[in-house]
């Protein structure tokens, strides 16, 4: 289930407030590279849930 575009535009990384982009079933921070999961179309913008940058 894709994230709605309007929602994607207002989301930001909680660490550095940078915008995120959709990458597969993840949202990736454009600054620090943390990868946030999306569950049932709902982005989980929590540092504890994020995967560290590759
Ligand atoms: Zn970030």
What domains appear along the chain, each with residue ranges and CATH number? 5-49 (2.20.25)
Quick one: pLDDT at residue 30? 96
CA 1–ligand 1 middle distance (angstroms): 23
Q: Are 8 and 41 in contact (CB under 8 A)?
A: no
CA 3–ligand 1 middle distance (angstroms): 18
Per-residue DSSP letter, 41: T
Quick one: pLDDT at residue 53? 85
CA 32–ligand 1 middle distance (angstroms): 4
Look up residue 26 and give its two tokens: 């993840």
Quick one: pLDDT at residue 28? 96
Per-position pLDDT tens, the chain of length 54 = 678 889 899 999 999 999 999 999 999 999 999 999 999 889 999 999 999 987
Quick one: pLDDT at residue 1? 66
Quick one: pLDDT at residue 41? 86
The residues whose Cβ lies within 5 A of ligand 1, an ion, are: 13, 15-16, 18, 29, 31-32
């Amino acid at each position: 289930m894709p994230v709605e575009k309007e929602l994607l535009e207002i989301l930001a990384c909680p660490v550095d407030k940078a915008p995120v982009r959709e990458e597969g079933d993840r949202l990736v921070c454009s600054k620090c590279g943390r990868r946030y999961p999306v569950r049932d179309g709902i982005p989980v913008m929590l540092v504890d849930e994020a995967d560290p940058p590759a």
